[in-house]
Amino acid sequence: MKTLKENFLWGGSIAAHQCEGAYQEDGKGLAIMDLATQGSYGVPREFTKQVEPGKIYPSHEGIDFYHRYKEDIKLFAEMGFNCLRISIDWSRIYPSGDEEVPNQKGIEFYQRLVDEMLSYGIEPMVTLYHFEMPVEIVRQYGSWANRKIIDLYLKFAETMFKALNNKVRYWVTFNELNHVDPMSKASDMFTYLVAGIKYSELENPKQILANIGYNMSLASVKAACLARNINADNKVGCVFGITPFYPATPHPDDVLAAFKQTMRDFYQVDAMCFGQFPQYKINEYISNDININILEEDEKFFFEGRLDFLGFNYYQSEMSSTLNTKQTSENRGLHGGYINPYLEVSDWGWPIDAKGLRYMLNLVYRRYNLPIIITENGLGAADEVTANNEIIDDYRIKYLNDHIRELKKAVIEDDVDCFGYLMWGPIDLVSATTGEMKKRYGFIYVDKQDDGSGTLNRYRKKSFNWYKEVIASNGESI
């Protein structure tokens, strides 16, 4: 009987700005998320131009991982993690983005963190860019729409490839850069997360988003070449946020719309896997009067910088509808589709669809034939703490159990090459889309509340032991 690989990677993913805190310590510069204040689901979050006293900026303290990482890594090790995905905050390394010399203290923090993980046999997977960029790059250069940023990013990437050489094998160039498709209306939230700019303030959004999409794709393939030149053992991937869209009815218009909405997320995956920036996208730009600055030398990088593996983040599916069949604006999903009436939704309105994970694993594997790792998956919920500091999160166990079961089916029955499962937020951290602490994902509860209060103490939830057993049995307990 086929099972998951013996060395299957089990663990979780976290991101610097959502957990580290210490936003002004050891020479760190301001990063884009340091200017994002708390918001809530459905309401655009608020972004200020500078830090204002008295407001709550969730990234400023995070869960104080910067000072408590040893305690947290120990807890991950207790669960049996053999992999942890972290991200590097660019503004710790180059506080304004274009300094000549990197900030040594920032580098040393990540060296200590990686060493701590390795001491427990936890394989680090390192994301270079997870919604984190020095604010100065946006102010001075206009963010990723400017090709110059590619060189600044490569300088940062090279610094980290060298600083963590022979310690880190798995590198991720970007997290979820795919949320800003130039041909669809983006939200302020997604353009801010990806590039530190607000969609509603752009004068020529299609052109700007097309530049951003191209420049980030090119930066990724160039970074992949660099990583492998520095160490041939480096494996380079990119992480995409992938959402399947289902047709609301079998009407061919709905079916076509669902296909198009699903594939909207893929043009950059194509660019990084097929060895060239896709011609269909270039044609689309031409017919929409969008000009992309493509240099002749780029071609070689798209070919040589193809990815070694694909990471994808999966949370939910949505539905496409063109026929006005009972769809209302209240029924809208996060990614521009509608909520599927056959699915339950989370406390934050995200549809729960474990089978969608199997569907996407199949689609992605058959299209790219590359090893895949699930780099994020999880349930954001408002946990209750009992008088004895217990958290009985059966709903989280059910969510994760159902998704891992579908992943196993994709591997065992459908032959998909999936080499790991990293759930999102193994320890409670700040929500990326709302800035809340209340929206919790972890196996470990952190006593920190939305008003900034709390001891920051850590407590094991019921799901902690459940995941420990899943890992110990290499998924057989499911």
Helix (H) or strand (E) holding 19: helix 16-19
Total site size for ligand BGP, rule CB under 6 A: 14
DSSP characters for 274-335?
A: SSS--HHHHHHHHHTT------TTHHHHHHHT--SEEEEE----EEE-SS-SS--GGGB-TT
Should residue 442 be labelled a site residue for ligand BGP when binding is judged by CB under 6 A? no
> Closer to ligand BGP at the Cβ: 211 or 434?
434
Should residue 380 be labelled a site residue for ligand BGP when binding is judged by CB under 6 A? yes
How far apart CA 214 and CA 281 sit, in angstroms, is: 10
Should residue 406 be labelled a site residue for ligand BGP when binding is judged by CB under 6 A? no
> Closer to ligand BGP at the Cβ: 136 or 436?
436
* 44: DSSP letter: P
Should residue 192 be labelled a site residue for ligand BGP when binding is judged by CB under 6 A? no
Measured in degrees and rounded to the nearest 5, phi and psi for residue 147 equal -60, -25
Should residue 439 be labelled a site residue for ligand BGP when binding is judged by CB under 6 A? yes
Should residue 161 be labelled a site residue for ligand BGP when binding is judged by CB under 6 A? no
* 215: DSSP letter: H
How far apart CA 214 and CA 266 sit, in angstroms, is: 13
> Closer to ligand BGP at the Cβ: 69 or 302?
69
Binding mask 11-30 for ligand BGP (x = CB under 6 A): ----x--x------------
Please, which residues bridge with residue 31 across strands?
A: 134
Rule CB under 6 A: choose which of 220, 268, 431, 463 binds ligand BGP: 431
Rule CB under 6 A: choose which of 81, 424, 464, 467 binds ligand BGP: 424
Rule CB under 6 A: choose which of 434, 437, 458, 460 binds ligand BGP: 434
The minimum distance between CB 145 and ligand BGP, in angstroms, equals 22
User: Do residues 293 and 282 lie in contact, with contact meaning Cβ atoms separated by under 8 Å?
Assistant: no
The minimum distance between CB 4 and ligand BGP, in angstroms, equals 24
Rule CB under 6 A: choose which of 11, 21, 241, 356 binds ligand BGP: 241
Rule CB under 6 A: choose which of 433, 448, 461, 463 binds ligand BGP: 433
> Closer to ligand BGP at the Cβ: 19 or 145?
19
Pick the piece of the chain touching ligand BGP (CB under 6 A) from 157-165, 262-270, 429-437, 463-471.
429-437
Pick the piece of the chain touching ligand BGP (CB under 6 A) from 23-31, 356-364, 408-416, 425-433.
425-433
> Closer to ligand BGP at the Cβ: 86 or 470?
86
DSSP-derived pairing of the beta strands 444-446 and 458-460: antiparallel
Residue with tokens 């896709």: 278
> Closer to ligand BGP at the Cβ: 86 or 113?
86
Please, which residues bridge with residue 86 across strands?
A: 126
Should residue 432 be labelled a site residue for ligand BGP when binding is judged by CB under 6 A? yes
Should residue 87 be labelled a site residue for ligand BGP when binding is judged by CB under 6 A? no
- Give the residue among 356, 186, 349 at the shortest CA–CA distance from 264: 186
Should residue 58 be labelled a site residue for ligand BGP when binding is judged by CB under 6 A? no
Should residue 190 be labelled a site residue for ligand BGP when binding is judged by CB under 6 A? no
> Closer to ligand BGP at the Cβ: 267 or 424?
424
How far apart CA 163 and CA 157 sit, in angstroms, is: 10
How far apart CA 273 and CA 310 sit, in angstroms, is: 9
Residue with tokens 């166990």: 397
Should residue 376 be labelled a site residue for ligand BGP when binding is judged by CB under 6 A? yes
Should residue 127 be labelled a site residue for ligand BGP when binding is judged by CB under 6 A? no
Residue 279, burial from CB neighbour count under 10 angstroms (0-12, 13-18, 19+): exposed
- Give the residue among 209, 215, 164 at the shortest CA–CA distance from 190: 209
* 450: DSSP letter: T
Measured in degrees and rounded to the nearest 5, phi and psi for residue 178 equal -85, 5
With H, G, I as helix, E, B as strand and everything else as coil, classify residue 225: helix
CA torsion sign, 212 to 214 to 216 to 218?
negative
Please give the positions annotated as active site. 376
> Closer to ligand BGP at the Cβ: 133 or 163?
133
Should residue 440 be labelled a site residue for ligand BGP when binding is judged by CB under 6 A? no
DSSP-derived pairing of the beta strands 309-313 and 170-175: unpaired
- Give the residue among 98, 23, 8 at the shortest CA–CA distance from 57: 23
> Closer to ligand BGP at the Cβ: 159 or 434?
434
Pick the piece of the chain touching ligand BGP (CB under 6 A) from 228-236, 248-256, 396-404, 428-436.
428-436
Pick the piece of the chain touching ligand BGP (CB under 6 A) from 67-75, 101-109, 431-439, 453-461.
431-439
Neighbours of 139 (CB within 10 A): 14
Site of interaction with ligand BGP (CB under 6 A) = 15, 18, 175-176, 241, 313, 376, 380, 424, 431-434, 439
